[in-house]
Amino acid sequence: MPLPRVRPGRVETPSSLKHHARGAPRRSAGHAARRLRRSVAVVVLAAVAVVVPAAPHAVAAAGVRAVLAPPPGYNCPEYYAAPAPQGWPGPGDSVQDTQRAVRWDLDSLGRPARARFMQPRSRGSYQGDQRTSGPCQVTVGHYYETRWGQPALPPVAAGPPPGNGQMWNGGHLIAYTYFGPDTRYNLVPQLKGVNTGLYKRFENAARACLAPVTPPRAGSVDEYSVTVNYFNDAAHDPRFPQSFDVAVRLTGQAGTARAAGRIPWDAPSGNGSQLAQDLTAARTASGC
């Protein structure tokens, strides 16, 4: 319908504007009142919809935080709690490093829930393997002994008891070699055998397409994601991951290949798992 024309020097009212539309019928005062009531109802419903809680792991734009220098003592909390220090995430928020195109999501309890590349990375976006442990990695890795200063308890009801020689690491969701930071939203407790075993094979699949090589050849990582699944019952420590769902898609001189699967918290370090075979096949098929 064409917009009504406003005559110069005339103040248009709702009753006069409606007659600009050709053939517009006259409406009673009762009809106008009913339309007003319906309009108010729509506005009220829209206002209610705004405050409906988001689904788990769904993060509104206002909940995305930029990577900042951590406030003193806030680099390695057990949980990211609300209210959070200025600019830092709370439960259900995300942290986004726009320079390196990485995003981390926290779950409703303030635990690391997911990490992923936001866009493909080309060969060379890699900072090497030489590194010493950062303070948060040590804190998370030693949580079995310290529980962030609380009395030591087994992390998993059926897990290894204290003193049996098992070692724990602070496991990076985004590896240090891909510029993963030493901060709690990127670190979870991991058995050393998992961190240096099947999880390492997952990281190495991406490394094959990112690390510099001689002679140079094509390589990129088009997808890299980790989702953390926690034990959520009274018998298990709620900070301890039950498993990791991982996915990586590689593109090299031979083509593109993808591998995805689940890494249990106590996964064996051998090469016999289906995920280990798929990761090896993806590296070979991509030609990285």
Listed residue (63, 102, 110, 265) closest to 181, CA to CA: 102
- With contact defined as beta carbons under 8 Å apart, do 92 and 108 qualify? yes
108 torsion bin: left (phi>0), alpha (psi -120 to 50), beta (else)? alpha
Can you read off the two tokens belonging to residue 212? Answer: 């510099």
- With contact defined as beta carbons under 8 Å apart, do 188 and 112 qualify? yes
pTM score of the predicted model: 0.73
- Helix axis angle for 274-286 and 198-210, nearest 10°, is 10
Q: Domain ranges in the chain? A: 14-50, 61-286
Can you read off the two tokens belonging to residue 200? Answer: 């390492």
Q: What would the mean pLDDT of 232-241 be, rounded to a whole number?
A: 79
d(CA 82, CA 61): 17
- With contact defined as beta carbons under 8 Å apart, do 198 and 278 qualify? no
Tell me: the pLDDT tens digits for 72-113? 767 888 899 888 888 788 999 999 988 888 999 999 999 999
pLDDT at 177 over 90: no
- Number of Cβ within 10 Å of residue 63's Cβ equals 17
Peptide bond into 83 cis (omega under 30): yes
CATH tag, 61-286: 3.40.570
- With contact defined as beta carbons under 8 Å apart, do 246 and 202 qualify? yes
Q: What would the mean pLDDT of 8-18 be, rounded to a whole number?
A: 35
Tell me: the pLDDT tens digits for 33-60? 555 444 434 333 333 222 222 333 333 3
d(CA 262, CA 278): 12
**34 Cβ contact list (under 8 Å, min separation 6):** none
Confidence of residue 23 (pLDDT cuts 50, 70, 90): very low
pLDDT the model gives residue 24 = 42
pLDDT the model gives residue 199 = 96
Sign, Cα dihedral of 33, 39, 40, 45 = positive
Cross-strand bridge partners of residue 95:
65, 104
- The DSSP string of 56-114 is TT---GGGEEE--PPPTT-SS-SS--SSPSTT---TT-EEEETTTTEEEEE-TTS-EEE
Q: Nearest 5°: phi and psi at 195?
A: -60, -35
pLDDT at 149 over 60: no
- With contact defined as beta carbons under 8 Å apart, do 87 and 66 qualify? yes
pLDDT the model gives residue 63 = 61
- Number of Cβ within 10 Å of residue 285's Cβ equals 16
Can you read off the two tokens belonging to residue 5? Answer: 């024309």
Cross-strand bridge partners of residue 103:
96, 116
CA dihedral 27, 32, 38, 44 (to 10 degrees): 150
pLDDT at 266 over 70: yes
